[in-house]
Homo-oligomer: A and B are copies of this chain.
Amino acid sequence: MLTSKQKKFLNSIFNPKEIIWEKASLFAYGVDSSSLHGEPEVVVLPSKVDQIQKLLFFAQNEGIHIVPRGRGTGRAGACVPKKGIVVSLLKLNHIIEIRKNDFVVIVEPGVITYNLQQELKKYNLFYPPDPASVKFSTIGGNVATNAGGMQALKYGVTGDYVLGLEVVLADGTLLNLKNFCHKNVCGLNLAKLFVGSEGTLGIISKIYLKVLPLPNYSVSILFGFKSLDKAISNILNLFKEGFLPCALEIIDKNCLNAISKVDSLPWEKDLNIQTVLIVKFDGTENSVKEDINRVLSLFSADVSIVGKTEEEQEKIWELRRKISPAAYRLKPAKLSEDFTVPRGKIGEFLRAGERLSNQYDLPVLTFGHVGDGNIHTNIMYDPEKIEDRKKADKIHRLLLEKTLELEGTITGEHGIGLLKKKYIGLQLDSNTLQIMNAIKCTLDPNNILNPGKAF
């Protein structure tokens, strides 16, 4: 519990609009998009970087835990506090500068990623990373978790766009890792170390991003297949032909079943479609048209729907977005995972999901970024039924083991946070964890920054 002296200090550096003490208001800052929750003692919303510096200098001396957060859209509990002070970065929400000819943008961490993308469009510029939360999550949160997304297949993940950072270290020191150059090898690449560090090494206060020219044309195509196997062999054929689209998403039959309970599917029912792939291409109109012809000649699908206009494409992607809410029509609770396997192993992983779903008679929904092996798994169960809970846990454990057997990773884009901490030792050996902790200890010797998370 904070002492009255500590409370007084906080009130001295944050004005009443920048600090939340009321218990009822604190609740919202203790959760994220995992099922975890905690309770901060207080939330501060700095509007200037030097407030963060003063806060951390004080917290380090007093041994107070600090948990930074953006919009709380993470799925691993990385920003869920155990206690201490939550630092919301939402008031640091300015696009500082768009340097069009440098292909560089400088932003504060609280900017919503989608808003940045929309602003960049006016300059004919493009920031590609598109996590599912893109319309709600902040760029700071995206950097702290190295967020992925659909278009990672062509464009890579958040970290691939981070040129430089400004970071407040645990003792309040301002680390200025500014960089406006797309090539720069001056000293260690510290900025990349903070990417994906989930708030454990410092608080990101400014971000220097690389941006690209905006592609002026895109097309999305939905392909339906009568079996999972057929879809898989089509995907592997695409890889074999050395053809990687901008995005390649899968929707399995359990997902389709869930969606069909809330909406009609856009093909004749007697086609008996069991698996859907959505492919997106972008670039110039001619290059995209060439891509379409190529994929149409490579794929042998049982149904295909081409979306050219923005509206038509939107309709195709709507199907993908319906999965998560529709899933609850099958069972009232989900065990959600982002196990990821090497690209060539997706068949084995998807088949394991289907097999376990049948074997244990629980709906296992597999969908997502199949082009990168980054497959999302929702194991649906009824928490009231002890048998369901046991079966869900068993399936979860077997899929985890399958992931490791296939040399995959326990998290492709959600991160470790609190949720997966118990599994990290199954993937990383003790030497690796020791070095991660040694670096943490160097940067945060009193362990005040988001302690107990990430590694």
Residues of A within 8 A of B (CB): 99-104, 124-125, 145-146, 148, 152-153, 156-157, 159-160, 169, 173-190, 192-193, 195-197, 201, 212-214, 236, 239-240, 242-244, 283-284, 286-287, 290, 340-345, 369, 372-374, 407-416, 424, 427-429, 431-433, 435-436, 438-443, 454-455
**Identical copies in the complex:** 2
Known: A180-B342, A182-B372. A432 touches B187 (CB 8 A): yes
In the assembly, what is the distance between CA of A59 and CA of B432, in Å?
22
Instruction: Name the residue of chain B whose CB is nearest to the CB of A433.
Output: B187
Contacts of A343 in B (CB 8 A): 101-104, 182
- Asked whether, in the complex, the Cβ of B101 is within 8 Å of the Cβ of A185, the reply is no
Closest Cβ–Cβ distance, residue A190 to chain B (whole Å): 6
- Asked whether, in the complex, the Cβ of B287 is within 8 Å of the Cβ of A101, the reply is no
Contacts of A236 in B (CB 8 A): 101
Having A103-B244, A159-B189, A169-B435, one finds 14 other A-B pairs with CB under 8 Å, namely A101-B343, A148-B183, A157-B183, A173-B431, A175-B435, A178-B407, A179-B409, A181-B409, A182-B372, A183-B373, A183-B409, A185-B414, A439-B439, A439-B442
Contacts of A408 in B (CB 8 A): 180-181
10 contacts between A and B (CB under 8 A): A159-B192, A173-B431, A180-B408, A184-B340, A185-B411, A185-B414, A186-B427, A188-B436, A284-B290, A438-B443
Closest Cβ–Cβ distance, residue A446 to chain B (whole Å): 15
Contacts of A427 in B (CB 8 A): 186
Closest Cβ–Cβ distance, residue A65 to chain B (whole Å): 19
Known: A340-B181, A411-B185. A156 touches B160 (CB 8 A): yes
Instruction: Name the residue of chain B whose CB is nearest to the CB of A236.
Output: B101
Contacts of A341 in B (CB 8 A): 181
Contacts of A286 in B (CB 8 A): 286-287, 290
Closest Cβ–Cβ distance, residue A57 to chain B (whole Å): 14
Closest Cβ–Cβ distance, residue A436 to chain B (whole Å): 5
In the assembly, what is the distance between CA of A374 and CA of B146, in Å?
27
- Asked whether, in the complex, the Cβ of B242 is within 8 Å of the Cβ of A125, the reply is yes
In the assembly, what is the distance between CA of A186 and CA of B195, in Å?
12
Contacts of A104 in B (CB 8 A): 342-343
Contacts of A213 in B (CB 8 A): 242-244
Closest Cβ–Cβ distance, residue A215 to chain B (whole Å): 9
- Asked whether, in the complex, the Cβ of B176 is within 8 Å of the Cβ of A431, the reply is yes
In the assembly, what is the distance between CA of A438 and CA of B214, in Å?
40
Closest Cβ–Cβ distance, residue A164 to chain B (whole Å): 10
Q: Which 3 A-B pairs have the closest CB atoms?
A: A101-B344, A213-B242, A287-B287
Most B CB within 10 A of own CB, among A290, A410, A413: A290
In the assembly, what is the distance between CA of A228 and CA of B219, in Å?
40
Contacts of A432 in B (CB 8 A): 175-177, 187, 190
Closest Cβ–Cβ distance, residue A333 to chain B (whole Å): 25
- Asked whether, in the complex, the Cβ of B193 is within 8 Å of the Cβ of A197, the reply is no
- Asked whether, in the complex, the Cβ of A183 is within 8 Å of the Cβ of B340, the reply is yes
Closest Cβ–Cβ distance, residue A222 to chain B (whole Å): 23
B102, B243, B455: the one contacting A344 at CB < 8 Å is B102
Instruction: Name the residue of chain B whose CB is nearest to the CB of A373.
Output: B181
- Asked whether, in the complex, the Cβ of A187 is within 8 Å of the Cβ of B454, the reply is yes
B156, B188, B373, B429: the one contacting A454 at CB < 8 Å is B188
